[in-house]
Chains A and B, each alone.
Chain A
Amino acid sequence: MIVDLLQERLFQLALIAALLVGLCAPAVGTFIVQRRLALLGDGIGHVALTGVALGFLTGTAPVLTAVIVSLAGAVAIELVRARGRTSGDVALALLFYGGIAGGVMLMGVAPGGSNAKLNSYLFGAIASVTPEDIWVIAGLAVAVIAVVLIFGRELFVLCQDEEMARASGLPVRFLSLLIAVTAALTVVIAMRVVGLLLVSALMVIPVATSQQLTRGFRTTMGLAMLFGVLASVGGLLASTYSPKVPPGAAIVLLALAGFVLALGIGRFVRRGRTQESTVSERPQMRVEEVA
């Protein structure tokens, strides 16, 4: 049955998109979660909607305008974050609301805009992915993976301990912008698959799932990418077999189910580990509870 599916062009495109998203989103997500910026993807997703609508308004490819606007949004968010003022919180919220409202407004005014189109970007429409979309998605995915491979070591230090990164002479400002920009690219990649409102889920849930089972950063990232691919391909298959199932929601719910499962298994694993360690080396309960 899957063999038949694989020969269908539409399914091929959707599968490629799902694979790329499943790989990229958790890879970037691992750094973002480590840096306690789990909601960064949500913020960029909101802003990206205005970019999509601008594409419809100007007759350009929405994916391209979404890239431009979400990059600008990511840089703005990072600049606000780096200033570290309490008012930054509110400034970010304003940016998010503006992004969604602006997107809905522009989409309403745009000649080709409709509620159906708006929905397809908000909640994803993997079945409507075109070959052009795939080229853009693949290009962005290569960029994201390249960033992780080239700067991964430095990004780990930055996200682990920003002061230490500074005292090691790392280009902290550049690396911080790099994370925000990479997150923006990931949002656009994932936009067609899970939709702007659920983009962040694929960046965060696989990481949260993975860290229930792992001890190190590298293994967390690797396992998260595996979970990401399983969820996105699984959701795609579910919606292919029963057309009433929306793929974006299926992917996210599948990822959440995986998280609940890992939570249970992780309890077991950790209990075993605690018994291994000696009495004097009492693990810090605080961290365990948060996790």
Chain B
Amino acid sequence: MSETAFAMTDGRVSFDGKPVLRGVDLTVCPGEVVALLGSNGSGKSTLVRALLGLTPLSGGTTLVYGSPPGRFRDWWRIGYVPQRLSVGGGVPATVREVVASGRIARQRRLRRTSQADRAAVARALEAVRLADRANDPVQSLSGGQQQRVLIARALAGEPDTYVMDEPTAGVDAETQQLLADTLSGLVLDGKTVVLVAHELGPLEPVITRGVVIREGRVAHDGRPPRPEGECARPGHEHQHPHADAPPVGPLAGLQEGSL
């Protein structure tokens, strides 16, 4: 089994015939903290969804830990943080119930909730500082707190790789800083992170690689400062289709010595 978290080759996605991804090559190695950057409509959210198999490819291939998403079985290795809380409907659910659902990929049918499950949920709630709100309905929390619930849900699953779609969008400074601290902890544990961001803000020091998406293509792919593992293999090259192009948007800050 491959330890490369994600490997997309010439990934293409179209919605109703309109191309959104136009041939993306992206390999994410263990321990990397990759920021997918780009303006609205650039295709960065579609890219993470395609990496997970949530959006089917119309061309090219993508692998999750060496398997196509449809045949991948070890989903507990992936922790997904969607763009915003899609609370299903009118039925309330407590913060703890939602966070505990992050354990689902590790739980067997007919097996009761284990001590390990409870401990992981408690740790996750503690990490996002929502332990005191555990029994409140998630619908009663503010937007930033709901975002923290989603992050805790992913943490509770104790995955190897985190995929976060705009975790910083529309949340307060406190939550952004909390997310940055959480990410630093994950990096120390050797976890892999792929996150979509409009701007990096306090996350910047944690990011090891920036990939800029523009019009459905990789416009820039910043080299990680400390290549290791499979990425350090001779002959492994990150894609730089437009290496000569001037840096765009948020990556400008990244390149000027922050790495």
What is the interface of chain A, defined by CB distance below 8 A to chain B? 30, 33-36, 150-151, 153-154, 156-157, 159-170, 207-208, 211, 214-218, 220, 273, 277, 280-284, 287-288, 290-291
B109 within 8 A of A: yes
Q: Is B252 in the interface zone, CB < 8 Å from A?
A: no
Q: Is the CB of A163 within 8 A of B137?
A: no
Among B91, B105, B163, contact of A34 (Cβ-Cβ < 8 Å)? B91
Question: Are B141 and A281 closer than 8 Å at their CB atoms?
Answer: yes
**B92 A164 Cβ-Cβ under 8 A:** no
**Chain B contact residues (Cβ within 8 angstroms of A): what range?**
35 or more
- What are the residues of chain B within 8 A of A284 when measuring CB–CB? 139-143
Question: Which among B80, B89, B157 is the interface contact of A35 at CB below 8 angstroms?
Answer: B89
Cβ contact within 8 Å between B90 and A216: no
Residues of B that sit less than 8 Å from A by CB:
52-54, 72-76, 78, 80, 82, 85-94, 96-98, 101, 104-105, 107, 109-110, 133, 135-137, 139-143, 145, 153, 157, 163
29 contacts between A and B (CB under 8 A): A30-B91, A33-B91, A34-B89, A35-B89, A36-B88, A36-B89, A154-B109, A157-B101, A157-B104, A160-B98, A161-B82, A161-B85, A161-B101, A166-B54, A167-B52, A167-B54, A168-B157, A169-B75, A169-B76, A208-B90, A211-B92, A215-B136, A216-B92, A216-B135, A281-B133, A284-B140, A284-B141, A287-B139, A290-B90
Chain A residues closer than 8 Å to B78, beta-carbon distance:
167
Partner of A163, one of B76, B82, B98: B82
Known contacts A216-B137, A218-B97: A164-B88 contact under CB 8 Å:
no
Given the interface contacts A157-B104, A160-B87, A169-B105, does A217 sit within 8 Å of B75 by beta carbon? no
In the docked arrangement, what's the CA distance between A207 and B92, Å?
A: 10
Whether the pair A215, B89 counts as a contact (CB closer than 8 A) is no
In the bound complex, residues from chain A placing their C-beta under 8 Å from that of B72 are: 169
Assess whether A216 is in contact with B97, with CB atoms less than 8 Å apart: yes
Partner of A220, one of B76, B87, B92, B157: B92
Residues of chain B contacted by A215 (CB below 8 angstroms): 92, 94, 135-137
A290 to chain B, nearest CB (A): 7
> How far in angstroms is the closest Cβ of chain B from A219?
9
Contacts of A217 in B (CB 8 A): 91-94, 97
4 smallest CB-CB distances across A and B, nearest first, come from A169-B75, A167-B80, A216-B94, A34-B91
CA distance A211 to B133 in the complex (A): 18
Q: How far is the CB of A237 from chain B (nearest CB, A)?
A: 29
- CA gap between A155 and B138 in the complex, in Å: 18
